[in-house]
Amino acid sequence: MHGVDTNLLFSFILGILGILVSVVIWAASTHAARVQAREARLSREALIDVETLNQIKKVYESAIAQLEDEVRRLRAEARTFEEKALALETELQHLRDRIEKNHVQESGPQGPPERDSGQ
């Protein structure tokens, strides 16, 4: 019986080793599946981040272009207002000159004419 006991013990040890190998293989494949799933998730997130970044960049560039257009428009409007203000200042100076000229002509060399007090 000694041979049967050795064969049985040998078979039992091989069975245990087979189970251990199966457990290690299962653990390794489970770990590999988790790693692969995590990498796939990170890859999707990275892709989403890149797409989001590109969308943000487009919006940002569009906003900058709109602001630059608005700045150009406002500068042109400011130039127009400056030109109008200069024209109004020039006209105001002409009017002051005419008023001064009329005032000098009315007052003559002796000063302003006297007004009737109505009495």
- Would you say residue 97 has pLDDT above 60? yes
**Cα separation, 97 vs 95, whole angstroms:** 5
The predicted model gives 4-8 an average pLDDT of 78
**Cα separation, 16 vs 10, whole angstroms:** 10
Is residue 85 exposed (0-12), middle (13-18) or buried (19+ Cβ within 10 Å)?
exposed
**Cα separation, 116 vs 86, whole angstroms:** 41
**Cα separation, 55 vs 62, whole angstroms:** 11
Tokens of 6: 């050795």
Per-residue pLDDT, 28: 92
For the whole model, what pTM was predicted? 0.45
Tens-place pLDDT, residues 12-37: 888 899 999 999 999 999 999 999 88
**Cα separation, 63 vs 92, whole angstroms:** 42
Tokens 């960049």, residue? 57
